[in-house]
Amino acid sequence: MITSITIHNFKAYRRQEFNLGRLNLLAGLNGSGKSSLLQSLLVLRQSFDQGLLERNEIALNGGLVRVGRFQEALFESADDKMISFVLQFDAGEAFYCSLEGWDSQDRTGPAVIGSDLDGIKALFRPGFRFLAAERIGPRTQYGVPDTNLEDIGTFGEWTPHYLVKHGDRDAPNPGSYHPKAVSPQLKHQIEAWMNEVSPGLQLHYDRADTIDAVQLSYSFVTHRDTTSHYRPTNVGFGVSYTLPVVTALLAAQPGHLILLESPEAHLHPKGQAKLGELISRAANSGVQIIVESHSDHIMNGIRVAAHEDLIKAEDVRFFYFSWNPENQTGATQVESIAMNQDGRIDKWPKGFFDELDHSLEILLTPRKS
CATH (domain of 285): 3.40.50
| Count of alpha carbons within 13 angstroms of residue 41, beta-carbon side | 23
DSSP letters spanning 90-111: TTS-EEEEEEES--TT-SEEE-
3-state secondary structure of 120: coil
3-state secondary structure 127-163: CEEEECCCCCCCCCCEECCCCCCCCCCCCCCCHHHHH
Nearest 5 degrees, angle CA 197-CA 199-CA 201? Answer: 95
Same domain, 40 and 143: no
* pTM for the predicted model, two decimal places: 0.93
Q: What's the CA gap between 351 and 189, in Å, rounded?
A: 36
Same domain, 144 and 234: yes
Question: pLDDT tens per residue, the chain (369 residues)?
Answer: 899 999 999 999 999 999 999 999 999 888 888 999 999 999 999 999 999 988 999 999 999 999 999 999 999 888 899 999 999 998 888 899 999 889 999 999 999 998 776 666 667 777 899 999 999 999 999 988 887 667 899 999 999 999 999 999 999 999 999 999 999 999 999 999 999 999 999 999 998 777 789 999 999 998 778 999 999 999 989 999 999 999 999 999 999 999 999 999 999 999 999 999 999 999 999 999 999 999 999 999 999 999 999 999 999 999 999 876 666 566 788 999 999 999 999 988 887 888 888 888 888 889 887
Q: What are phi and psi of 61, to 5 degrees?
A: -130, 140
Could you report the per-residue pLDDT of 68-103, keeping only the tens digit for each? 999 999 998 888 999 999 999 988 888 999 998 899
Domain count within the chain? 2
3-state secondary structure of 93: coil
Same domain, 2 and 117: yes
Same domain, 287 and 325: yes
Same domain, 99 and 69: yes
Q: Domain boundary residue among 214, 236, 251? A: 251
Provide the pLDDT for residue 279. Answer: 98
Same domain, 28 and 123: yes
Q: Which domain holds residue 46?
A: 1-127+255-369
Provide the pLDDT for residue 329. Answer: 62
Distance in Å from the first CA to the final CA of the chain: 59
Q: Would you say 290 and 20 are in contact if contact means Cβ atoms under 8 Å apart?
A: yes
Q: Domain boundary residue among 251, 277, 305? A: 251
Same domain, 259 and 123: yes
Same domain, 184 and 149: yes
Q: What's the CA gap between 98 and 5, in Å, rounded?
A: 13
Same domain, 166 and 270: no
Same domain, 166 and 50: no
Same domain, 265 and 292: yes
Same domain, 247 and 143: yes
